[in-house]
Structure 1
Amino acid sequence: MNLHFTKNDQKSMFLPRKVVDSIPFSSKDLPQIYNRFSVKPDSMEGQDMKQTLNECENKGIEGEEKYCATSLESMVDFVTTKLGKKVKAISTEVNAKESTPLQKYKVELAKKRGGDKVVVCHKQIYPYAVFYCHETVATRVYAVSVVGVDGMKVNVVAVCHIDTAKWNPKHLAFQVLKVKPGSVPVCHFLPEDHVVWVQY
């Protein structure tokens, strides 16, 4: 199996909370949002923005607390409300300048981080930084050092979902692994631009 750790070319940055609070963030306001950022509705960017808003407005899975953070301040507020003030953010670090497959790799070190309650924030496609954050329980986070035979080293975050009983049976993980919801833990590496918050 080859591991691909991709570099995200979209470099949208966080705006201050004061600024984003003055910008509509709702699918019903899409025409106004498109106009504000000079985006054509039928363009790829326009469709990505619509998808991000839909994902933020959709109901999460049962037992999951979700929130779309549109500023760093709002992300920290959500995280500390769920996990308390003693938290640490960790993410995957890719040193390569571009997407590189890691072939014939070995795991050098895997170290558990925090407890079984974490907040994972996934970067969305939007003109400014938006993260889809969700609190997960029965989840374990590991910091993993992976080394390829060519010497390339990547420090990645691995997330293991211990209880998948309430997941959608059509979830890609079940199709790939050929297992049923709740039968086995599901683990995956996180891309570089996603953040995991753990307690310490």
Structure 2
Amino acid sequence: MAKFVSSLLGQNVELLTSTVISAKASAVSGPVTVVDYHTRSADIEATPVVCHSLPFPSQVYYCHKLSKTRVLQATLEAAEGGRINAVAICHLDTSWWSSKHPAFAALNVQPGTEVCHWATESTLVWVRNSNT
């Protein structure tokens, strides 16, 4: 994984994951409020790398680069007080996605529309270090 990520992003990278900040957040099932957020990959050409955990007896990840994608990090707060440090992935160009992609039906939008989603706790999102 390290070799793949560094071949695409260089060696000065940051790992972002969605994490529970307070115990109450593990049971969040309703609406949440975005308390604050900031962009973690402002350069659209920076191609973040995302690694998805796969269901195997040992830990296995499927990693791929994302083009024309913005990564955001946000603090979410549930009505019952739980907090989550969440990573959002925004696909800025979905014009090449299948028109049958479930995101278009769920959001009632057409291909080409920006689509954003939250990364799960087991998803690893790698971006270039913004402090350089």
TM-score, normalization by structure 2: 0.87
Runs (4+) off by over 4 Å: none
1:1-200 correspondence runs (5 A): 75-94=1-20, 95-96=22-23, 99-114=26-41, 115-116=43-44, 117-182=47-112, 184-200=113-129
Alignment partners' CA distance in 1, 2:80 and 2:4: 41
Shift in alpha-carbon separation, 1:198–1:163, aligned structure 2, 3 A? same
8 A contact 2:28–2:82 mirrored in 1: no
Cα RMSD of the aligned pairs, angstroms, is 1.6
Q: Secondary structure at the match of 2:96?
A: coil
How many residues matched?
125
Amino-acid identity (%) = 38
Q: Identify which of structures 1 and 2 has the higher relative contact order when contacts are C-alpha pairs closer than 8 Å and 6+ apart.
A: 2
TM-score, normalization by structure 1: 0.59
The aligned counterpart of 1:69 is none
- In our comparison, the structure showing a higher alpha carbon Rg is 1
1:37-96 CA-to-partner distances (Å, cap 9, x unmatched) read xxxxxxxxxxxxxxxxxxxxxxxxxxxxxxxxxxxxxx1111111111111110000243
Give structure 1 stretches of 5+ with no counterpart: 1-74
Relative to its length, the structure with more helix (as a share) is 1
